[in-house]
Amino acid sequence: MPINPAAIGAEGGPVRRSWTSKDALLYAVGVGAGCDELPFTTENTKDTAQRVLPTFAVIIGGGGVPMNQIGSFNPALMVHGEQSIELFDEIPPDGEIESRGRVKAIWDKGAAAVLEFESTSTNAKTGQSLLRTTTTLFCRGEGGFGGDRGPNDRLEFPARAPDHMVTYVTRVDQALTYRLSGDRNPLHSDPSFAAMGGFSKPILHGLCTWGFTGRALLHSLCGGDPKRFKAMKSRFSKPVIPGDSLTISMWVDGPQALFRTGNQNGDTVIDQGQFRFVP
C-alpha cells in the first residue's frame, strides 16, 4: 500500500513507556558524554545526583503515533528530515510516561513523501505534562501522489560570527553504542544494508548527531542545567559518518538561539536550528 494522505489527523495511543537510570546513562554515553559530564553518565558519584540529558526525550517520547494508517515505504530509502522537542519539566532518571500521537501532516515533494508526526507525553506518576516531540521523515521514492508540497520557509542566520562554537569528535563505533538505546536500523551498522540506501558505509543516526548538538546547547547556553533547556528544533541536511567531527555554532538572542552543526569538511549536517532556553 502506498503512502495514504487520508491519514492526516489520525490519532493513536495512549501507550506507556518506562525507562531506568541505566537507560538514561547509556543514552548519554551514546551521544558522546564522558568523564567531564558525570551527572549524566554516572548514578553514584559523591555529591552528584544523576540527571538526564534533555534530548533523551527522543528516546522515550514519540509514542502513540498511528503508523499503521500511513501506508508503506522502503526503510532503506527513508531518512530523518526534522526533529523537535519541547520540555515542560525535567526528565527524571527513571520513570514512566503515557503518550498520545497523531499524524500532523503528509507532504508530497514529488520525488519523496514527507511524514510529520507529533506525540505528547505525560508523567504517569504525577499526571503532569512532561514533553512533546515532533518527528519528520523524508521517504524517497514515495512522492507523486498529488498532495500539497508543504511550506518552504527558511530561517535567516545572522551575518556575524557565532556567539558560541563547540566541537566534538564522534567515535568510529559511535553508532554501535547509540543503537543500544533502541534504534536498531541496520542502516547504521550493516554495510550491505547501507549500500542499498546509496551510502558507502553505515551512517550515524541523525538523532545521535542531534544528541551531540543538544549537549553543546545545554552546556553553552544552559550552564549544564536541564531545567533551563526548553525546546529544540532543527533539520537534518547531510549524513554524518561515525568518526566525523561536529562543530555546533550558536547565535544567541535573549532566551532564544539559532544553531547549526557542521562536519570537519565544512558541510552543514544539521541546519535551521532553533533553541529556546532560560538564560
Helix axes 206-221, 21-30, angle to 10 degrees: 90
- Topology (CATH level 3) of domain 5-277: Thiol Ester Dehydrase; Chain A (3.10.129)
37 vs 58: CA distance, rounded Å: 20
- What tens digit of pLDDT does each residue of 244-265 get? 999 999 999 999 999 999 999 9
DSSP-derived 3-state class of residue 161 = coil
Q: What pLDDT was estimated at residue 1?
A: 53
- What tens digit of pLDDT does each residue of 85-141 get? 999 999 999 999 999 999 999 999 999 999 999 999 999 999 999 999 999 999 999
Residue 131, classified by CB atoms within 10 Å of its CB into exposed (0-12), middle (13-18) or buried (19+), is buried
Q: What pLDDT was estimated at residue 144?
A: 87
Q: What pLDDT was estimated at residue 80?
A: 85
Residue 164 has phi, psi (to 5 degrees) of -145, 145
Q: Which residues are catalytic?
A: 183, 188, 203, 206
Instruction: Give the DSSP letter of residue 221.
Output: H
Q: In this structure, how many other beta carbons lie within 10 angstroms of the beta carbon of residue 116?
A: 18
Handedness of CA 235, 84, 217, 24 (dihedral sign): negative
Instruction: State the cell numbers at 235.
Output: 533539520
Total-model pTM: 0.94
Q: What pLDDT was estimated at residue 197?
A: 80
HSE (side-chain half, CA atoms, 13 Å) at 192: 0
pLDDT beneath 70: ranges in the chain: 1
Residue 165 has phi, psi (to 5 degrees) of -140, 130
